[in-house]
Amino acid sequence: MQGTLSKLKSSLQAPVEYALPLGEQRLDLNPLLGQSIRLTYTSQIFCTHCGRKTKKSFDQGYCYPCFRKLAQCDTCIVKPENCHFDQGTCREPDWAQNFCFQGHTVYLSNSSGIKVGITRNDQVPTRWIDQGAIQALPVFQVKNRFHSGLVEITLGKYVSDKTRWQAMLKNQVDTLDMQAQRDALLEQCRLELDVLREQLGEGSIEPMTDAAAISIEYPVLEYPSKVVSLNFDKNPVVEGTLLGIKGQYLILDSGVINIRKFTGYEVEVAC
């Protein structure tokens, strides 16, 4: 099979079911556990937005012109608290209306310890799987991405907003009482959240007190004791026995590779 990579597709099962997109094709990965697999980079990269050939991928899959003009490549996507839509400087106002001005979930997850994050409602639970979280708990429902960023910043004063990816891949993570973690965190920042609610208006931050924590199991035969990162830019051939899939990583006996990092890269897959 041959085609351009995009991020792994997943389905919340026990364990998670994964597929590797190759252009219009998909390769089911779970049945390949324990088997040899080889991915060969053809030295061609295609922009995931416009399709043009590019020498370098920007922001996980874009050519430079698209990277510079698309709203989805703006820094406010990573830091939504810096949204500048109201200033009239959004790169694509129509796109923002569909993407940013929809309901978002503020959540706690456990991938390498407790962390806070945000995602569009239609990306639950995909976002948690992409991070390699073994547990997740929705905490707040908010009206738009800007508000979710402000809530995340508030909670992020007390818990991390980052995943330690090597610890995640080694499975160096303990199961937590997610409701207890939530309750303790909300008590810590109760006054700050009250101020933020007053600023944003009534109904802007809705607690999801009845939400249940979910547990996520990944298709992994063996976790690495040492994480060796594989990179198509350094070696065009990635091969080994597939030992597992977690987050956006393929875990091989030769190392790990972050598929999402190489979005737009054309590869041949043999297994």
At 228-264, the pLDDT tens digits run 999 999 999 999 999 999 999 999 999 999 999 999 9
pTM given for the model: 0.94
Number of domains in the chain: 2
135-142 and 214-215: which strand pairing?
antiparallel
| Domain co-membership, 122 together with 186 | yes
| Domain co-membership, 200 together with 253 | no
Residue 96 resides in a domain:
no
| Domain co-membership, 146 together with 182 | yes
User: What is the residue range of 201's domain?
Assistant: 102-215
Torsion of CA 26, 27, 29, 35, to 10 degrees: -170
Instruction: List pLDDT tens digits, range 183-231.
Output: 999 999 999 999 999 999 989 999 999 999 999 999 999 999 999 999 9
Give the pLDDT of residue 154. Answer: 97
pLDDT band at 52 (very low <50, low <70, confident <90, very high): very high
| Domain co-membership, 23 together with 116 | no
Last residue of some domain: 181, 196, 215?
A: 215
Q: Say if CB 223 and CB 215 are below 8 A apart.
A: no
| Domain co-membership, 172 together with 255 | no
| Domain co-membership, 198 together with 235 | no
CA neighbor of 104 nearest in space, from 127, 136, 87: 127
| Domain co-membership, 146 together with 210 | yes
Q: Say if CB 262 and CB 232 are below 8 A apart.
A: yes
Three-state secondary-structure class, residue 55: coil
Residue 243 resides in a domain:
yes
Residue 89 resides in a domain:
no
9-11 and 265-270: which strand pairing?
unpaired
| Domain co-membership, 121 together with 147 | yes
| Domain co-membership, 46 together with 106 | no
